[in-house]
């Protein structure tokens, strides 16, 4: 089990991610060509117990954040494809955990291609016009998909108030000239700066490293600490 260096619901989520094979350790080549000692794939949350674990973690992150700051929204938006089930499951879990506030909360998602028959359009679920929208997705890599989601929501008249992801890798973007020794911001930091909205996460890389101490081989933790030191974002 994860240690108490993270809050109980984060520890539960971390345990579920490890036991379900969502969080793996080893050597993984990323899109950036960096070799990472860990890999997180939210697409592996396909079992009912794992879906329950991630939706509970999203919901508790929202509830915890709402208690500390003003996080008011009308709709959870899940970008296609992974975000669809994440938004729907999180809406259901919010209504379960705090029905007095979230029983009527709505969710929406987008189509990759607009439908030109039937109800038509590119959005499925609750209409976005004039509504406050919280985007729910797995991770932010380069930020391209989140920018596209924001554009779609704004085009429909929605107001994006924030983004919630499962994991913040706290990793800097690749330098344009390929020199990874240079300080660079993270994709999450750039979105915060560009749009002036909060980007929240269930876990950060710091949380994972802290939560793994005592339950994973010391070599795994050392490799993750070295990776963090080498690629940590400047923001």
What are the catalytic residues? 115, 117
Provide the residue count of the chain: 235
Query: Using an 8 Å Cβ cutoff, are 67 and 19 in contact?
Result: no
DSSP class of 186: B
Reading the block at residue 36, the tokens are 């990472």
Q: How big is the CA angle at 212 (ends 54 and 66), to the nearest 5 degrees?
A: 40
Reading the block at residue 131, the tokens are 């509504």
The span from the CA of 227 to the CA of 206, in Å, is 12
Q: To 10 degrees, what angle do helices 48-68 and 8-19 make?
A: 150
Sign of the dihedral defined by the CA atoms of residues 60, 61, 65, 68, in that order: positive
Strand 159-168 and strand 199-204: the pairing is: parallel
DSSP class of 57: H
Residue 222: φ, ψ to 5°:
-60, -45
């Amino acid at each position: 089990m994860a240690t108490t260096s993270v809050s109980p619901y984060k520890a539960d989520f971390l345990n579920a991610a490890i036991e379900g094979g969502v969080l793996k350790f080893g050597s993984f080549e990323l899109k950036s060509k960096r070799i990472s000692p860990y890999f997180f794939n939210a697409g592996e949350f396909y079992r009912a117990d794992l879906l329950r674990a991630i939706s509970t973690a999203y919901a508790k992150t929202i509830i915890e954040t709402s208690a500390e700051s003003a996080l008011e929204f009308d709709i959870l938006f899940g970008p296609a494809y992974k975000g669809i089930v994440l938004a729907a499951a999180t809406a259901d879990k919010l209504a379960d955990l705090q029905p007095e506030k979230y029983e009527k909360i709505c969710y929406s998602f987008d189509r990759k291609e607009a439908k030109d028959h039937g109800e038509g359009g590119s959005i499925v679920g609750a209409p976005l016009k004039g509504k406050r929208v919280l985007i729910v997705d797995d991770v932010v890599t380069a930020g391209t998909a989140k920018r596209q989601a924001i554009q779609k929501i704004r085009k429909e008249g929605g107001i994006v108030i924030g983004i919630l992801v499962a994991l913040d890798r706290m990793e800097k973007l690749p330098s344009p000239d390929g020199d990874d020794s240079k300080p660079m911001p993270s994709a999450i930091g750039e979105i915060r700066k560009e749009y002036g909205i909060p980007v929240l996460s269930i876990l950060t890389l710091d949380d994972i490293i802290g939560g793994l101490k005592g339950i994973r081989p010391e070599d795994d933790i050392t490799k993750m600490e070295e990776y963090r030191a080498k690629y940590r974002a400047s923001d």
